[in-house]
Amino acid sequence: MSYLFAPPAVVSVPVMGLTEGFPVHRIYCVGRNYEEHAKEMGFTGREPPFFFLKPADAVVVAVPGQITSVPYPTLTNNLHHEIELVVAIGTGGSNILAADAHKHIYGYAVGLDMTRRDLQNDMKKQGRPWCIGKAFDHSAPMGPITPAAQVPNINQAEIALKVNGKDRQRSNVSRLIWNVAETIEQLSAAWTLQPGDLIFTGTPEGVAAVVRDDLLAGSVQGLEPIEVRLA
Ligand code: MN
């Protein structure tokens, strides 16, 4: 098969300790999955998880030990950070039970669900899709993937984000409303998961605006931390 123009490059995330990259298929994201964040967004209680997507090429790989430049996006005056645990799916499937979810997980990474909050809020008010607020270019900076077997305590890991050296978000993965296994159960009932899918599992409280030149340092205990500067 020949093509009219060069097909898009495969988006790939490095894997710790391997030369092979993790080829990205889709990026699923979970909304409002920590109670205190749901409250700060004006919601309370445990509601069924809901999902949105980002394009695979929204990924910006943050190289360990380096500060990775990420462009400040267009059209916004209120760009928010959302630090998240990212799950990398290695084995696909549909209608996966929470008890079997671990068999489908390749590994984990630290990610930022960057959000044009002003545009997202405008769309919410009008009952329109959030795409412009969430699924823009460079909206998914993330670190390399650590294979699951190397982080057996990931479900009790501290998750944190500092901006210019000061704490903005600090919580624990154990506080997820829908834990990783339950999220995979719910997500795989709606879509057939494929190897290469990434799941941004939701952000804890403390989301706020960042501006050009801010340095964002994100971490999840046991995973490679990331450092991103907005350019
Ligand atoms: Mn998020």
Which residues, given as ranges, of the chain have pLDDT below 50? none
CA of 142 to the centre of ligand 1 (A): 13
pLDDT at 46: 74
Q: How far is the CA of 3 from the centre of ligand 1 (A)?
A: 36
pLDDT of residue 44: 75
Nearest to 172 by CA among 35, 75, 69: 35
SS (H, E, C) 161-230: EEECCEEEEEEEHHHECCCHHHHHHHHHHHCCECCCCEEECCCCCCCCECCCCCEEEEEECCCCCEEEEE
Q: Report residues near ion ligand 1: CB below 5 Å.
A: 82, 113, 203
Residue 85: predicted pLDDT: 98
Q: What is the pLDDT of residues 218-231, one digit of tens each?
A: 999 999 999 999 99
What would the pLDDT profile of 84-135 be if each residue is shown by its tens digit? 999 999 999 999 999 999 999 999 999 999 999 999 999 999 999 999 999 9
pLDDT of residue 42: 86
Q: Ligand 1 center to residue 39 CA distance, Å?
A: 14
Q: Could you tell me the distance, in angstroms and rounded to a whole number, from the CA of residue 59 to the centre of ligand 1?
A: 14
Mean pLDDT computed over every residue of the chain: 97
Q: What is the 3-state secondary structure (H, E, C) of 70-101?
A: ECCCCCCCCEECCEEEEEEECCCECCCCHHHH
Q: Is 202 left (phi over 0), alpha (psi -120 to 50) or beta?
A: left
Helix (H, G, I), strand (E, B) or coil at 47: coil
Q: Ligand 1 centre and the CA of 97: distance in Å?
A: 23
* 82 CA → ligand 1 middle, Å: 6
Ligand 1 centroid to residue 116 C-alpha, Å: 11
Residues in Cβ contact with 65 at an 8 Å cutoff, skipping those fewer than 6 apart: none
Distance 33 CA to ligand 1 centre (A): 8
Buried/exposed 164-194: b ≥16 CB within 10 Å, e otherwise: eeeebbebbbebbbbbbbbbbbbbbeeeebe
Cα 30 to ligand 1 centre (Å): 6
The DSSP code for 122 is: H
How many angstroms does the Cα of residue 51 sit away from the middle of ligand 1? 10
Q: Is the CB of residue 213 less than 8 Å from the CB of residue 70? A: no
Helix (H) or strand (E) holding 36: helix 35-40
Indicate the DSSP class of residue 67: P
Distance 169 CA to ligand 1 centre (A): 13
Q: What pLDDT score does 142 carry?
A: 98
**pTM for this predicted structure:** 0.97
pLDDT for 182 equals: 97
**81: Cβ contacts below 8 Å, ≥ 6 apart:** 112, 114, 115, 161, 163, 168, 169, 207, 208, 210, 216
Q: Compute the distance from residue 2 Cα to the ligand 1 centre, in Å.
A: 38
What's residue 45's pLDDT? 67
